[in-house]
């Protein structure tokens, strides 16, 4: 039976997946207070219907970082899709291409960005700046060569979150035969020392736009060109409610609606 809603899809995942894998996807850091807070924040987001405007065709398309998207939705970067299905990120990319929306390829993808690009999906690449800047630059070059049109730098994960479900399940590594396709066997480093210097460095090695994902109202410097309000899915430091969500996060000047309104209501 085809799922009619995200809730049904989640129920189906719970039924089908190995419980430890389900917990990896569904869980958050520590007491998961932020997982619940994010859901509540999403529920508070309202739409402003435009009525009595005649019989014009409905138009949901938007321009994101200079490219057209069929919907104001971006598929957020998430790790390890092959845990859920052998096609992994390829299946996600095919769905994004069919829907006409951008997919952000996680640096922790289990399929390489070059292969994902063959699906024809519009891609951005998510990056955690690694201590080895030479290696980080190689990743940037790979993403550029594969046709990614933005680098989404996750600055909301200075340390790895304490995910108690994973600890309880002993789910601490990928199963054998599965790997992060971009890491050449290295572990991904999360950096508490990340600073604007790293963003400036990134700008010096790439001309791609660099949207950053973080909480939007704690910036010491005006972020440019765009910010994705995010708590990293509440999987990294706990209690950093995003009060927005990727699914309504439209980078650049247009992202301010409706996320900013939701943030104002929630603060």
Ligand X SMILES: Cc1cc2nc3c(=O)[nH]c(=O)nc-3n(C[C@H](O)[C@H](O)[C@H](O)COP(=O)(O)O)c2cc1C
**Which range in 4-12, 48-56, 74-82, 195-203 contacts ligand X by CB under 6 A?**
74-82
Instruction: Give 38 or 92: the residue with its C-beta nearer to ligand X.
Output: 38
Instruction: Give 226 or 242: the residue with its C-beta nearer to ligand X.
Output: 242
Instruction: Give 106 or 119: the residue with its C-beta nearer to ligand X.
Output: 106
Q: How far apart are CA 91 and CA 88, in angstroms?
A: 6
Q: Which helix (H) or strand (E) holds 102?
A: strand 102-105
**Which range in 12-20, 135-143, 169-177, 233-241 contacts ligand X by CB under 6 A?**
233-241
Q: Which residues, 122 to 181, sit near ligand X by CB under 6 A?
A: 126, 154
Q: Which of 109, 92, 103, 38 is nearest to 69 (CA)?
A: 103
- Quick one: which of 74, 79, 116, 123 contacts ligand X (CB under 6 A)? 79
- Quick one: which of 10, 13, 17, 25 contacts ligand X (CB under 6 A)? 25
Q: Which residues, 90 to 129, sit near ligand X by CB under 6 A?
A: 106, 108, 126
Closest separation between CB of residue 59 and ligand X, Å?
A: 26
Is the CA virtual torsion 256, 258, 259, 260 positive or negative?
positive
Tell me if 156 sits within 8 A of 214, measured CB to CB.
yes
Q: Which helix (H) or strand (E) holds 264?
A: helix 256-266
Ordered DSSP codes for 71-85: SS-EE---S-GGGT-
- CA distances 174 to 78, 79, 110, 237, Å, are 14, 11, 10, 22
State yes or no: residue 190 binds ligand X (CB under 6 A).
no
Where on the chain is the footprint of ligand X (CB under 6 A)?
25, 38, 76-79, 106, 108, 126, 154, 213, 230-235, 242, 245-246
């Amino acid at each position: 039976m085809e799922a009619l809603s995200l809730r049904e899809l989640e129920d189906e995942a719970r039924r089908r997946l190995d419980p430890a894998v389900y917990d990896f996807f569904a869980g958050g850091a520590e007491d998961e207070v932020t997982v619940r807070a994010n859901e509540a924040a999403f529920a508070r987001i309202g739409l402003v219907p435009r009525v009595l405007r005649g019989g014009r065709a409905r138009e949901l398309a938007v321009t994101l970082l200079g490219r057209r998207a069929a919907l104001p939705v971006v598929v957020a970067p998430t790790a390890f899709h092959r845990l859920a299905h052998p096609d992994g990120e390829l299946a996600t990319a095919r769905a994004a291409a069919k829907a006409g929306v951008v997919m952000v390829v996680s640096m922790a993808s289990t399929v390489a960005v070059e292969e994902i690009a063959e699906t024809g999906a519009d891609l951005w690449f998510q990056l955690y700046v690694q201590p080895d800047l030479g290696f980080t630059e190689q990743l940037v070059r790979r993403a550029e060569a594969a046709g990614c049109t933005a680098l989404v730098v996750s600055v909301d994960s200075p340390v790895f979150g304490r995910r108690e479900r994973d600890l309880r399940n002993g789910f601490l590594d990928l199963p054998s035969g599965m790997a992060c396709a971009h890491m050449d066997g290295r572990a991904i480093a999360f950096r508490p020392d990340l600073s604007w210097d790293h963003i400036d460095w990134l700008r010096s090695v790439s001309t791609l736009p660099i949207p950053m994902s973080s909480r939007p109202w704690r910036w010491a410097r005006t972020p440019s060109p765009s910010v994705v309000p995010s708590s990293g899915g509440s999987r990294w430091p706990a209690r950093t409610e995003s009060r927005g969500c990727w699914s309504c996060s439209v980078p650049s000047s247009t992202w301010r609606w409706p996320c900013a309104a939701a943030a104002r209501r929630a603060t």
